[in-house]
Each structure stands twice: as C-alpha cells, then as structure tokens.
Structure 1
C-alpha cells in the first residue's frame, strides 16, 4: 500500500518543478521582448546613382553656372563616419614623440637637415613605428589651430558600393537609435548596376542601402548621399579653383600676354608684332573678327556669393545632396535635392581691346577650369516595393523602398 503522504510530497515537488519550468520559459519569452517597441515604421531604402558619360546636348541656359548650394546641416550622414573614422583615440594612445621627432610639421620642414632626418630613419623599429607629435599644451593652442594630425584624410574617390554589417532583424530595428546600412546581399538593384557597368554611356557612382524609420515630413531627418570623386583639394564648394590652381592660371595668362606683347614664338619661328597685326587685319577683312563694345560683353564666370550660406559640406564630392523620405497619411513620398559636379572650361569674355586681341591670337590662353553643378530637385509620391527612376540629362537616380516586419501602422 502506497503511503498517501509520499504521494502528496511527490505531487508537491512535481508541481514546484513545473512552476519553475513554466516561469523560466515565460522569462525567456519575455526576455526577447524587453526591448520597448516605440511604434516606429521601418523601411529598407536602396539607392543607385549613375552618370551619363556621353550626356545628350542640352540647352546651355537650362542649368545656370552658379552652384545651387545644398546645406547639409542637420541631415543624417551614414557614410562620412564610416569612410573617415575618428582616429583621435588611437592617436592619443601613442607615446609622445621625443627629440626632433616632437617638432611639428612646419618647424620640421624649415629647420631639420637631411642628416637629422636620416638619423630618425635609423631609429629602432619600436621607436620608428609612431608617436604623438602634438603635445597637449593649452597655453599655445592658437599655434596649432591650422595643424591637426588627428583628422582622418577623406579618400580621393568613394567606392561605388557602400554597405553595412547589420542584418536588419526585428531586434536590431527595435534596439537601433538611428538608421543603419545593410549588407550587400540585401541589394535588389545589383543586376541593374552590373548592366550599367557594361555600358559605355553610363557609369555608376553610388550604390547603397539602409534601414530607417519613416515619419511625417516635419518629423524625420533628411539623409545625405555622397559619391564619386573628391574635388576638395582642387575646387571650393562654389566651383572656383583653389588658390594654388588660381596662381597657375594667372601665371599662364601673364605669360600669354607677355608672349603677344613681345612678339613670342610659334612653331619655332619668331612671330613679331607686325605679323600679328597683319593676321588681325586679315581676319577683320574676312569678317572673322570684330571688336565688341564693352556693354555687349558679359563674363561667363559666375560671381561668388557675397555671404557664404550656413551648413555647407566640408568636402566637395562629385555627387552630393539630400534624400528625404516621409509619410503623408499612409503614402510614402520622396524629396530629392542633388548636385552632380563636372569640370568644364570657361572662356571669360574679354572686356578690353587688348584682351580681345589676345584671345583671338591665342584662344586657349584665357580659359579657366570651373567645377559646375547640375542640380536636380523633385518631390514624388511613391509606392513601396516598386522601382522609381529619377531622370536628369546628366545622371539618373534609382530608388526602391521596401517594407520590413515593422512597416505597418503601429
């Protein structure tokens, strides 16, 4: 006969074990839901930008030479921190330089001899690997204003494909504090990019994809897109050559003017002022050259803005601009504001008689390089999972917005 007390004890132990088991399962189940659901509607956005290498001829007055500035202050940039990371923690982890190696770059260039530099190269490997050159001396901080060895150098050209490492899972979206790039295997427009790469008349500039929550127009932040070549060392934001380039152009112009004033040389033969005058008179007789009045001449070079707008980008990229995706009710909208850059040759109109003559005798002496911008701005209501193409005579932008597990109204 079974003892009733033992049965009751066994039943109590079994019920306690089951209670612990179910509580553990319940904790494990709620543990995955500990991330608060803030109700954001997440979408995956893919963008492919390409330029036409042989654009169709367009009306020259369709796009002004003056650059339309696009301030990027307050926008979200997913690329610059990834391509030019902050290296200051690594830099300040290095030991401080000693002896002549502690001197900053301007002083080293002016005062260090070849023997001193040769001696530094012969240092032991552990001392030659690297050290921190800038001491932390606030008392002379003004001396280092233009010298910062902790700034990462931006690449001369960005890679076409820019991707991330997050898979875009539900947990990642719930925990994310900001939009994030997704891996390349998420890309749906890769076949189109490969097709463009095989063509002769088109060249991909940027192919990227990310996940972001989408809000109303006034609540969400715009995304900055960049791609292609970095023109920062050659041109300023408004397309004018940097000072070093300007100096070269001015020197070429001065030498050209001196060339004509002094007779100059052409095809290894001396051509005197008399020959130039004869050439000019012959051209006037054949109606190939006419002097223009000053009032009819307008320089092609655009004017610099009197005041620099706030929030301009630090670097001048071949493709740069803002993409804003927002919701109006339950409808997705895309707002684009882009600039594509291209180097052109300007021929400023000559305002004086001597300049007109000089330009006729040597047509290319007066040409200037200018980095013009082709703007594109458009707002369009779109449908998710459809491919949307934004066309421009010089470039194209393909956008696809895809739903995720967290895209529905919440």
Structure 2
C-alpha cells in the first residue's frame, strides 16, 4: 500500500501541472517542420502547408509568403522572426515582410547574430550566406563542401555549421579563411546546439555527442539506438538539452551532469521534426507528422502518453484501399483536400476539379504560372500532369515533383478522383 500511495501522490501532484501547461497548437494544414520561441515566449511554427503560425495562446496568426514548406525558423534578440523553406527563400517578418535573399536549394538552417543585425542561412545547395537585416546583399562564406543542415552563432565573430557530409565546421567571421573542421562524423550531421564552452550535434546514424569548443575533446556521448536525430534545443536557464529523433522520442539531458533525465515517447508513429523550449525551460514544444504542435511541461513528461498521433493518410496500408485511392493518398493527400471550402493544406482543394480551369479556386494564392493559365483539368490534362511531372508540364508552378510512371496507375487515380471530387 505504501508504494501505491506514493505513486498516487506523484500522479496527483503532476496532474495540475499537466492540466495547466499542456497545450495543442492546432490550425496548420500539414506537418510541423520547424518551431522557434521568441524571448517573449511567443511560439512560431513552420509547416508543410507553406505558412508560418504565430501563436497567442491557442489562436494563430498566419504569415503567408513562402511558396513551399517552411522548414527553418529563428527569432532575433529583438523579436525579429526569420523563416526559410523549400522554396529556397529566406524571409523576414514584421511591419514590412520581405525576402532577404534566395538560395539555389532548400533552406535548412537559420541563425541570427547576437547583435541582431545579421542572419546566417545554410542550404542544401552547399552554401552559407550572411544576410544583413538592413537589406544589404548577402555575403557567401567559403564553401562548406556539402549541403548544410545546421548553423549556430557563438558571439559575433564565430559561426558553426553542420553538413550532410558529416563535418562540424567553425568559421572565423573576421577573416576569409576556410572553415576549420572540428568533427568528421562519417554520417551527415543534422542538428547543432551550442552551450557554454560546448557544442552538441546529432546525426543521421543517431550519433548524439558533445565536444569541448576549445579543444574538440569529447564531453559526452548521448547516443541511443534511435535514428536519425532530427531536432535539438538548448535552454540555458534550466541547463537542459532536448533531442528529438526519427522514432518519435524526446530525450531531455541535464547539461551540468550530462545525465539523461527524461526519455519521452512523444509520437505514436513518425518522427519528431521540431523542438523548442519555452524561455524558462519549463515547457518543451514539439512538432511532427500531425497538423499541430504540442507543448508539454517538462517536469510532468513522465505522466503523459504520446501526443503526436502521426496517423497520416499517406501512411495507410496499401491493402486497405483500391489502387486509385492508394495513388491519391501517396501522391496527393498531404497537399490537397477533396472537400469543398477553404483548407489550410499547401495546395488548393480538388473538389470539383474536373472541368475547372487551373488557377481558379477562390482564396488560394497561385503561382504566376497557374494564375491565368489556359489549362482545364480533365482526364487528359491530369494524365499528362502525372506522366510528365509538374516541373515539366507546368514549369514554375508550386507543385512538388510527382510522377506516376505506370499508365494503369494514372488511370486508376483519375477514376478515383472522378468519384471523390464530384461537385454538387
């Protein structure tokens, strides 16, 4: 009875904390790819639906402008929000939102300098560019030698970068010298977290390690049998490091002792793509396959069940549906709804698509290519779209590259769409 009483007591103590601080940030139309928390505590989320959400409590304000998924977010010390995405653009938000610059590949990483004047962006095109928030043109750093997954400032004159080739690099921003390699991991490094005198990195193979910034000597090896590492967040006031992985776990580490204090299964299926602490470190915000971000009180993580469901339509077992529906679920469902009315998905609804001119769904922001297009969607044009791929059939559109090579698969998809998208 004594043990049961202790367990019940712990549950009762934790329940008010959980009830007060657990939150779900709902409203996006696609998976959550990035989260950043302002010094004020305001949460920003970036999604596959091409938008940034700013959250005041549970109510979002949508920032629209990206033409593809928003994959990177960061706040400056003065509350300036910067985003990057699969449209290769770096955007700054505020009273006069604007594009700071453009890469030639996905923008995977952003960091604002401590003085708030410069943004560093890292891209899969193999470049790192420093952009002035005053509007001057960007300055490219010496080539890192591979696509860039993460960047982190250490003061005004030092920048760290992680590459797809497994290098952890240090740039001296006061010179034009090539970067110094601190680590050659052997597998791509996805994430970095910088602390006082140390830097942590997480890699494709699950490697999670911490090294001394001065000597490069290892401080801690936090590697578990989970891969890849997809998210990291460090909170200085609480001395906590959070690590998210492809198997849906959030690991919390005490950076004073380098002990794992919590290991929380955050998702029922799928990865943890994004993590960010509240300013005081009492809450961890996370995103994954769901169209919502989740906020858990760190002290009560042990009492929660997984919150991120991860049950996406494109993950349904093939044997549970006909081939035409399966093609839709795999190729189309993450971006397009089948029902009438507005949707926060990345693409326009397909309701009533047959016989409709391209670029004409009210309220949807089309690319210049489709806005005013003379294409009418029918069996022949939809077949051509998936036979050639959007990048060839409609060059310049926002549609991601999707090709269905088999003619019978395309025919099954078209038959399914004819039934599923019937207008009233």
TM-score range normalised by the length of the shorter chain: under 0.3
Larger radius of gyration: 1
Higher helix residue share:
1
Q: Normalising to structure 1: TM-score of the pair?
A: 0.21
Q: Which has the higher contact order (CA 8 A, sep 6+)?
A: 1
